[in-house]
Amino acid sequence: MTARSPVASFVMAALVLLPAITSGAVEIWEIQGSGTGSPLEGQVVTTSSNLVTATGRSGFFILTPPERSDGDPRTSDGIHVYTGGAPGVAVGDLVDVTGTVSEYHGMTEIAGSPTVTVLSHGNALPDPVDLDASDPSPDDPPPENVLERYEGMVVRILSGTVTGPAEDSGLFWAVARDGRAFREPGIPWPGVEGLPVWDGNPEVLQADPWGLASPPATPPTAPAAGRHVTLLRGPLVYTWGRYRVWVTDLAVEDGGTPTTGPVRPRRPGEITVATQNLWRLVDGDDDPDTYDDPPVSLTLEQRLAKDSLWIREVLGAPDVLAVQEVENLATLEALAARIADDDPSVRYTAWLLEGNDPGGIDIGFLTRESFQVDSLIQLGADEPFPFDGRDSTLWDRPPLLLRGRATGNGEPFPLVLLAVHLRSMGGIDGDNAAFVREKRHRQAVWLSEAVQQIQEADPGVRLVVLGDFNAFQFTDGWVDVMGQVTGSPDPLGALLPATDQVEPDLRNQVLTVDADRRHSFVHEGSAQVLDHVLTSAALDPWVRGAAFGRGNADAPRALAEVPGTAERCSDHDGLVLYLMTDADGDGVPDDRETRPVLRPRRRLVPTGSAPLPSRR
């Protein structure tokens, strides 16, 4: 909770144990009321003979003894008493409190220099409120007081899941059930009439190990997403627009540090193509014309070392890697050099063309010696986007089109790769919402038209469209980006509906990943896909699956500052596509040959390749 001043005072008769006095007192449940705010706000009240259930750095929590509860499931029997400093009471004390009822940013409490009188010590406490898969309600829409009825009471989860990893403060997200929370289609509740609505996952709770004490007696546990919670207990508060548990007890299985989850090894004859957002990989030189601050305090060399580990050990050193959020070609070349230093058998060439992003981040490629690049061009760099009197370009980060061929397994295997990084959803429901929605929609339409032009020019094209789409695999209710790009609009629709521009449709390989592993990013406790790999129908016979490398999106944020480990080198997990090749060039994938494939003793390199543009 935000610090407040002046510091309130309190009076405590610690040495005089008085008999309980309840006549004429206001009960806590009367103060709380059945709505989201107190009906007694601003009034001076006395509430007597209540139990202290938790203490903190600036106050404590009290609970109506069970025998005096009104039994109304709509009202809370607990409340926070704000003293402004160490409260001087202990858990198990029975107390009288007199003070002013206040709504501090939506949290009901007794404040105003409250007077506190201790009546007795060491009283037994009732069991906490147990939360489970049905309480809080996951239904759409949830009741208005789904959690308000427990505000100020101690709640407990005995079997749950960490559904969002710990931030720097130690705060994390949890659900009171097995299995994490995922983003679903639609506009967050309450939504817009006639458009798909997402309930916002009301079952997700924030858990704050720092809430009661600063600094805590012991460092807060920083769990990774996906871990099983065997105990989470503490008072429920409302602060910063969300319900939080101020943790008093926490037990998470397997500790708080995740292990990296590498993608599966390649099988004989397979090549891999991957995408990875590198989370503002910048050179550290301050450019006054761009916003180029790095997201962490590690040096560039330390970040390159983390990225090298990630690319080699978690993504399996793909033949081609599309990257997003790299500042310039020199930085990407430095990454390629670091990878080669760490493992001389893995050598990449860096490709990057500068775009229009005001933060100076660009799209690029890393290609191994096993992949020959024939051409690289930037698409749409000058495409205008006039909107409401503003003139800007449609693409801050223009797509890159790379044509080439894998040459490490017999006959060359041609591929066309289109790398993208679309406009984020930031501001999609704010003051700039119309601009954000229209730009995302226009980018998706433009991209679908570009895809169709490529397919019409070569119906047999082995096309991969990959990158950070900043879009879910379904409609977000405002815009159906992936439906537009793939040529398969979501039947739920959107405010700016998708149109079918692509024939045949592209296949979104994310949909082949198990549903409970289908995410590349975590936002406020909801796992979601932002990074996709799309393939043309002509690639269908060659596709052998896709997999996310794990250890970024689910990892505690603090690991981003820890050198020497691959974990949290980015806030996105990377996605790897597996393709079978054709060593003898007979049009049959190697793993479907009826007779052994005789591979050439030397690598075949095609002649007469198209000249390459400058990579700068």
CA 511, 513, 517: angle at the middle one, nearest 5? Answer: 120
DSSP state of 27: P
Planar angle of CA 228, 230, 231, nearest 5 degrees: 130
Region of residue 445 (left: phi > 0; alpha: psi -120 to 50; beta: else): alpha
Q: Where are the domains of the chain?
A: 28-120, 129-252, 270-592
Residue written as token pair 């509860």: 69
CB atoms within 10 A of CB 256: 20
Residue 609's pLDDT is 38
Whether 421 and 397 have beta carbons less than 8 Å apart is answered as yes
Mean pLDDT by 10 residues, the chain (616 residues): 39 37 71 93 96 96 96 95 95 97 95 96 97 85 80 97 92 95 95 94 93 69 90 94 93 67 96 98 84 91 98 98 98 98 98 95 98 98 94 96 96 98 95 96 98 98 98 98 98 98 98 96 97 98 98 95 96 98 95 71 39 49
Whole-angstrom distance, CA of residue 493 vs CA of residue 509: 21
pLDDT value, residue 15: 32
Enclosing H/E stretch for 160? strand 160-164
Distance between CA atoms of 400 and 524, rounded to whole angstroms? 31
Bond into 398 cis (ω within 30): no
Per-position DSSP letters for 443-493, written without gaps between them: HHHHHHHHHHHHHHH-TT--EEEEEE-SS-SS--SSB-HHHHHHT---TT-
Q: Looking at residue 213, what is its pLDDT?
A: 82
What pLDDT score was predicted for residue 599? 55
pTM to 2 decimal places:
0.91
Distance CA(272)–CA(543), nearest Å, equals 10
CATH superfamily of 28-120: Bacterial OB-fold (2.40.50.200)
* Nearest C-alpha neighbor of 47 from the set 67, 30, 59: 30
Diameter over CA atoms, the chain: 98
pLDDT of amino acid 145: 76
What's 129-252's CATH class? mainly beta
Q: Are strands 521-523 and 400-406 parallel, antiparallel or unpaired?
A: unpaired
Enclosing H/E stretch for 348: strand 348-352
Which pLDDT value is given to residue 584? 94
Q: Is-contact 550 592, C-beta < 8 A? A: no
Distance CA(75)–CA(551), nearest Å, equals 42
Q: Which of 320, 321, 331, 386 is nearest to 354 (CA)?
A: 331
Provide the 3-class DSSP secondary structure of residue 207.
strand
Q: Do 129-252 and 270-592 share a fold?
A: no
Residues 126 and 292: their CA atoms lie apart, in Å, by 54
Amino acid at 495: L
What three-state secondary structure class fits 591?
helix
Distance in Å from the first CA to the final CA of the chain: 49
Q: Give the angle 255-259-261 at the CA atoms, nearest 5°.
A: 140
Listing from the earlier edge strand, what are the strands of the sheet with 543-548? Answer: 348-352, 362-368, 320-326, 270-281, 575-580, 543-548
d(CA 353, CA 303): 22
Q: State the pLDDT at residue 288.
A: 76
Tokens standing for 414? 């041609």
Cα–Cα distance, 163 to 182 (Å, whole number):
9
How far is the C-alpha of 239 from the C-alpha of 473, rounded, in Å?
Answer: 32
Of 590, 570, 567, 593, nearest to 580 by C-alpha is 590
Helix (H, G, I), strand (E, B), or coil: what is residue 149?
helix
Residues paired with 496 in a beta bridge:
479
**DSSP labels for 242-270?**
EEEEE-SEEEETT-S-PPPBPPPPPPTTE
55: its two tokens:
């203490």
Give Cβ neighbours of residue 407 (< 8 Å, ≥ 6 apart): 370, 371, 372, 413, 603, 604, 605, 606
CATH 3.40.718.10 describes domain 270-592 = no
